[in-house]
Amino acid sequence: MPYVVKEVPDIWVDVEIHTPGMDEPESLHARWRLYPYPEARARVEAIQAGEIEDEQLVEEDLLELSGALTADGKPLPHCQELVDDVMHKTYARRALILSWYRAQEGRAAAAEKN
């Protein structure tokens, strides 16, 4: 298939969370804003310099989280409470932030198996 030049504004990536006490990883799906290389590189440098904190990155670039369930097994739609919950758990927070880097590299979420 030939490469098609087009704008891709966002991408879904898997967020694999290794919850303490769980044998298998849990997962969410995050939709992140994509940046052209110069802007993405500048954001990485700003992150490394401490000019952009995790909360700012999530606030500006996270468009949606999906795949979460409530304690009784019902789907939990994207909401600020979900984002806050993920960001307040160190093991989940790290997974979410690392998914931003994977998104900028174009590592789309794996297709679900039928």
User: For 59-73, how does the pLDDT look when each residue is reduced to its tens digit (9 = 90+)?
Assistant: 999 999 999 999 899
Q: Quote the pTM value.
A: 0.89
What pLDDT is attached to residue 112? 53
| Cβ neighbours for 111, distance < 8 A, ≥ 6 positions apart | none
What gap in Å lies between CA 31 and CA 34, rounded to an integer? 9
What is the dihedral sign for C-alpha 97, 102, 105, 106?
negative
Q: Measure Cα distances from 77 to 27, 42, 68 in Å.
A: 14, 32, 7
What pLDDT is attached to residue 114? 38
Which range is least confidently modeled, 3-7, 49-53, 81-85, 94-98?
3-7
